[in-house]
Amino acid sequence: MSQDKKEIKLKDTKEAEGKIERGIPSLEPKIEQSIKKGAEADIFLGSMLGKEVIVKKRVEKSYRLKELDLELRRERTRAESRLISEVRLLGVSTPIIYDIDLDRFTIVMEHIRGTRLKEYFNSDVRDEEKISVAHQVGIAIGKLHSNDIVHGDLTTSNMLLSEDKVYFIDFSLGGKSIEIEDKGVDLHLLLEAFQSTHSKAMFLFDEIIKAYSKEYCYAEKAILKMHEIAKRGRYT
């Protein structure tokens, strides 16, 4: 890596995008370990400028025309990084974006050392502590929906607990929407996650919904839509 690259400091999303527009080269993190291979992106643990980072790289889709695939991966990389930063501005905890490389289709972000709520909610931790965390989740979802942001893959696998704070991760299917239907889909995804993974802790889902209802003024409509979507699934 050149000395110029070493001297570029870590930056948030706006600074990273400004860097792209000014033609400043992206930092190239050192990849150390593959964490997950997904349908849309591969996730790696790496390091950059002495920091432990997560590198998310959108994968090529061979069934798409090459030019279309390149454009879609660039745009979705940019859109996800912007969404993560917008969510942080709302007071919802997410990893900090350090760098974006639209030529490599990568987002370099803070590595959050924590426990997935998928494991935490099934652990032997006292119910009182779990309820407190559930309230955090409900408030955070309420903030997202109040600002017309949907996560798109709202499950306890995409929430991390670190130092008593809940972080939301993986916004690759997220976006902006004013539709109650889309917010109902978010809630239904979380409901399904609880029914399949936390069936003995459904009271925590109820606590999430209580906190959500206090945060989002149209919560009642979104909750009704969630139940409507659940009924559709049962009768199709």
pTM score, two decimals? Answer: 0.87
Q: What is the pLDDT of residue 146?
A: 98
Sign of CA dihedral 135, 137, 138, 140: positive
Give the pLDDT band of residue 25 (cuts 50, 70, 90).
Answer: low
Give the pLDDT band of residue 19 (cuts 50, 70, 90).
Answer: low
Q: What is the pLDDT of residue 39?
A: 84
What range defines the domain where residue 30 resides? 7-110
Please give the tally of structural domains in the chain: 2
Residues 141 and 229 in one domain: yes
Residues 96 and 121 in one domain: no
- pLDDT tens sequence across 60-71: 998 999 999 999
Asked if residues 47 and 30 have their Cβ atoms less than 8 Å apart, the reply is yes
CATH assignment at residue 82:
3.30.200.20
Residues 230 and 119 in one domain: yes
Using the predicted structure, report yes or no on whether residue 13 has a pLDDT greater than 60.
no
Q: Is residue 119 part of a domain?
A: yes
Query: Which residues are known to be catalytic?
Result: 153
Q: What is the pLDDT of residue 20?
A: 45
Give the rounded percent of residues in the chain with a pLDDT score beyond 70. 87
Residues 62 and 123 in one domain: no
Using the predicted structure, report yes or no on whether residue 83 has a pLDDT greater than 80.
yes
